[in-house]
Amino acid sequence: MRPEMLLRDVGYVANIINEFPVLLWLSLPCAGGTSWSHVNLKFPSAAKKVMRHVKLMKKLWKAIEQFIGLMLRSLDIAIGWPQNCPYWRLPRIVRFMNEHSLQPYSFHGCMLGVVDQEALDCCNINA
């Protein structure tokens, strides 16, 4: 059986989830919480777009909380947002992190040797 078919087999997936450690990687868009959001909020049309993004993120987050609530076992959780994303400070997110004993870690692609198209270190913006 091909691997993609195995993932569609509920019994197989349930066996994997119960047999092996699970990492839930949450990589939701930070669109409503970018470093430009505070600027965009000054303009009515842009502010409406920012608020739509925030509303969508809250819906997605609620779905994630419901999904995790259905898990019958413990799992590791990672959230991939920019370090300065204001979502980190939302009471719902802070509460979630506390409930699941999550610790913040800063990570940058250059820590693994990620480079841009000119093969320059992605973290060295002055290069």
Global pTM reads 0.69
Output the pLDDT for position 93: 93
Residue with tokens 């970018």: 34
Phi/psi of residue 44, nearest 5 degrees = -50, -45
pLDDT one-digit tens code per residue, 12-34: 666 666 677 888 888 887 777 77
CB atoms within 10 A of CB 33: 23
Residue with tokens 């990492």: 23
Domain boundary assignment for the chain? 3-105
**How far apart (Å, rounded) are the C-alpha atoms in residues 112 and 127?**
18
Output the pLDDT for position 96: 94
pLDDT one-digit tens code per residue, 82-119: 888 888 999 999 999 999 999 988 877 777 777 777 77
pLDDT one-digit tens code per residue, 28-54: 877 777 777 777 778 888 888 888 888
CA terminus-to-terminus distance, the chain: 49
Are the C-beta atoms of 85 and 61 separated by less than 8 Å? no
Residue with tokens 């925030």: 54
7: pLDDT strictly greater than 60: no
124 band by pLDDT with thresholds 50, 70 and 90: low
Angle of the 91-99 helix axis to the 44-70 helix axis, nearest 10: 20
